[in-house]
Amino acid sequence: MAPQPTAGLEWPSWSVDEERMDVDGPFPHVSDEWIALISGLEVGAADAVDGHLQLLAEYLTGEAGSIGEQTQSSCISRLIVAGNSLSLVSNASGSSGGEAERKSRRYGQEASFTPHPTQALSGHLLDLCRSLPVHLLPGPSDPAATILPQQPLPRAMFGSASHYATFCCCESKNPTYINISPSRNAQSTSRASQPGASSSKTKAKGHAETAETAEIVRTVLVHSGQPLDDMFKYVPTPPITRMALAEATLRWRHIAPTAPDTLWCHPYFAKDPFVMPQTPDIYVVGNQPAFATKLVSEDGKADAEDEEDRRAKRCRIVLVPNFKQSGLLVLVNMRTLDVRRVQFAVQGMSAGGGET
């Protein structure tokens, strides 16, 4: 998707069609691989909903749901967590001020650190890493430097989960590029066990197109939402939406246009780390107020009407909401770039009322 110097500087006019999201369609071929996107687990929050996290782990590992749901979850090849896995530090004593809080202590202030959130997150990651690869990105509330690009979270934080090769933590900066080959995942991941999924090269000639499609390497660009949140502070809303800003950064070929003016980042001299060297197939923005998605192409046409349109570069933009508030898991098809949503809810418990 090349730069567009001749394009006007006006924002595109809002229309009802732009708000339509073609999601949750019929489940396609069982052999198709999907990736799961999530953000904002916020483990350790005062109002945490552990029931949703347990349902999420059971769904991704194939331990919950009907036979049809287990078949669908078996097609998920990996999970990407786009930041805010841990909650911000809160007052451990629970006091709201007053004489008791101002009282001097002989050995200084009471320690407010508790390892419980990290241990709880490590337990969930351990269950998931036994079944599929997990990419964990740092976010604004995680114990990582706030300056972008955020460095990976220390692998030693996550206990037994760090012993698994499927736990991708040290490679996951914020933002980060992830190259995913569906055919390679089918051979290396035990979950991709559908008949014939890993033997596409030995099929008959009539399945040559399927084998060629399975070897496509998808590029996923993920960040935890800080650049989009910062830009959204300085634009009129409406008519400009978060999706319009995300699409604009894709066409501008720059992830964080406001850095370093209003968004902290490391000083760079020879190379800008936020320039997009290539157009990703999937562009993921985490920790957003609500779910949104759009399929964009370099010619501005989302639907492929002819062979020339199908050859045009397409990118699926996905705004992933906060899981603690919405209970939403987003699935993206690696072959068709279709999107599905999975909602987790526990009777008698609220996920925060986020819109989906």
| Sheet of strand 134-137, all strands in order from the earlier edge strand to the far edge | 167-168, 134-137, 76-82, 34-38, 328-333, 339-343
In the predicted structure, residue 8 carries a pLDDT above the cut 90: no
Tell me what the mean pLDDT of segment 31-39 comes to. 93
- CATH fit for domain 34-88+115-183+216-343, picks 3.40.50.150, 3.60.21.50, 2.60.40.10, 3.30.365.10: 3.60.21.50
For the ranges 2-11, 54-63, 90-99, 287-296, the one whose mean pLDDT is highest: 287-296
pTM: 0.79
For the chain, the maximum distance between any two Cα atoms, rounded to a whole number of angstroms, is: 81
Q: What is the pLDDT of residue 25?
A: 67
Q: What is the pLDDT of residue 70?
A: 84
Per-residue pLDDT tens over the stretch 264-298:
998 888 999 999 999 999 999 999 999 999 999 87
Strand-pairing partners, residue 259, are none
Mean pLDDT of the chain: 79
Tell me what the mean pLDDT of segment 319-343 comes to. 95
Domain borders along the chain are 34-88+115-183+216-343
In the predicted structure, residue 212 carries a pLDDT above the cut 90: no
Per-residue pLDDT tens over the stretch 93-102:
444 454 554 4
Given a contact cutoff of 8 angstroms between Cβ atoms, the answer to whether 320 and 287 are in contact is yes
In the predicted structure, residue 186 carries a pLDDT above the cut 60: no
